[in-house]
């Protein structure tokens, strides 16, 4: 027997086993490919998935594959760490109130420069290299995201119900009042993947910094998207024992907010999810963006990944 022949049999067995696993995955994806054919999937891209090089590459390939099989991804991205890094280099102090960035005029210039001029273009470039034919947009392009100034109203539990609330001025921080879906639909019809930076504008041309989760929820709701995926740096929503909640109704989510199970930074994220559901999105999923190929795992496999919210 030739040298190495003994090893060739187990190697062939391993190769055959791997091929069988891959074929089962492809077969498993078929009903989901049919379900999402010609459907819009909005993906909020943020967190570790935007900073780790291998995850950035996987994200681009995942989006390109969705587009190739006839699904219409729409990307809304954040960029908080990149903004903080640029503010630091420019020696502009970052200020937060109640976890939200105070955006004065100088900070707004940096926010727009980083989100629109740097982060958005990098995502678009990666998607194009992967074959997705992406187009970068800010909310100012074609009045895509109309907005108004957002005021933060805070009520302190220790001051009684009759005490007046504190109104915090966050500067140029806005909230979406209207999404120009005609522009997005036009790009989709022409085979492009819209990549949206969360910068809005009002009727007087004033620019606003808008929370990317809120923009993703507003865009998904306005488009009546089939799904909204929120990429985060957590596995999903956890119960009080620390176990992952895989499925959650809107009513149950509100109850978990009421009893404190959903707390802190997850509260506004869940509110965006519930708003999107109320506007007609079929399902919203909080997905662990630290998992490579998380988009394909969530959309095209039986198990999925993360916490799925439905009405």
pLDDT digits (tens, 9 = 90+) for 229-285: 999 999 999 999 999 999 999 999 999 999 999 988 899 899 999 999 999 999 999
Q: Note the pLDDT of residue 221.
A: 98
Q: Note the pLDDT of residue 111.
A: 96
Q: Note the pLDDT of residue 7.
A: 58
The pLDDT tens digits of the residues spanning 22-69 come to: 778 788 899 999 999 999 999 999 998 999 999 999 999 999 999 999
Q: Note the pLDDT of residue 167.
A: 82
Residue 4 has pLDDT above 80, yes or no: no
Q: Note the pLDDT of residue 98.
A: 74
Q: Which residue in 127, 119, 120, 122 sits closest to 61, CA to CA?
A: 127
* Residue 153: CB atoms within 10 Å: 10
The pLDDT tens digits of the residues spanning 173-214 come to: 999 999 999 999 999 999 999 999 999 999 999 999 999 999
Query: Can you list the domains of the chain with their CATH numbers?
Result: 37-310 (3.40.1160.10)
Q: Note the pLDDT of residue 55.
A: 96
Q: Note the pLDDT of residue 12.
A: 80
Q: Tell me, what DSSP letter sits at residue 234?
A: S
Q: How confident is the model at residue 112 (pLDDT cuts 50, 70, 90)?
A: very high
Mean pLDDT of 81-101: 89
Residue 94 has pLDDT above 90, yes or no: no
Q: Which residue in 87, 223, 47, 229 sits closest to 145, CA to CA?
A: 223
Q: Note the pLDDT of residue 10.
A: 79
Backbone phi, psi, residue 186, to 5° = -60, -45
Contact of 311 with 248, CB cutoff 8 Å: no
Which helix (H) or strand (E) element contains residue 222? helix 212-223
Contact of 37 with 158, CB cutoff 8 Å: no
Residue 161 has pLDDT above 70, yes or no: no
Contact of 216 with 42, CB cutoff 8 Å: yes
Claim: this prediction has a pTM higher than 0.85: yes
Q: Tell me, what DSSP letter sits at residue 292?
A: T
Q: What is the 3 state secondary structure string of 101-153?
A: ECECHHHHHHHHHHHHHHHHHHHHHHHHHHCCCEEEEECCHHHCEEEEEEEEE
């Amino acid at each position: 027997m030739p040298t190495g022949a003994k090893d060739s049999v187990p190697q062939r067995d391993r190769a055959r086993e791997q091929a069988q696993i891959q074929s089962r995955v492809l077969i498993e994806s078929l009903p989901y490919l049919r379900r999402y054919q010609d459907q819009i999937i909005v993906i909020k891209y943020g967190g570790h998935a935007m900073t780790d090089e291998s995850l950035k590459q996987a994200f681009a390939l995942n989006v390109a594959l969705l587009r190739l099989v006839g699904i219409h991804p729409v990307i809304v991205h954040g960029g908080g760490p990149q903004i903080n890094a640029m503010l630091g280099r420019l020696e502009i102090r970052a200020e937060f109130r109640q976890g939200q960035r105070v955006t004065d005029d100088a900070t707004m210039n940096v926010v727009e420069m980083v989100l629109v001029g740097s982060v958005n273009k990098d995502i678009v470039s990666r998607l194009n290299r992967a074959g997705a034919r992406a187009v970068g947009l800010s909310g100012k392009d074609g009045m895509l995201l109309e907005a108004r100034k957002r005021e933060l109203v805070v009520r302190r539990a220790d001051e009684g119900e009759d005490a007046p609330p504190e109104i915090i001025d966050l500067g140029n921080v806005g909230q979406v009042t209207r999404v120009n879906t005609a522009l997005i639909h036009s790009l989709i019809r022409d085979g492009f993947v819209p990549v949206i930076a969360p910068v809005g504008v009002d009727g007087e041309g004033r620019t606003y910094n808008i929370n990317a989760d809120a923009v993703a929820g507003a865009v998904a709701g306005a488009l009546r998207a089939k799904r909204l995926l929120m990429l985060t740096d957590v596995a999903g929503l956890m119960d009080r024992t620390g176990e992952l909640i895989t499925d959650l109704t809107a009513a149950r989510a509100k109850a978990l907010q009421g009893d404190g199970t959903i707390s802190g930074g997850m509260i506004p994220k869940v509110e965006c999810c519930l708003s999107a559901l109320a506007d007609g999105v079929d399902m919203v999923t909080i997905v662990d963006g630290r998992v490579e190929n998380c988009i394909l795992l969530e959309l095209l496999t039986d198990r999925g990944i993360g916490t799925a919210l439905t009405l």
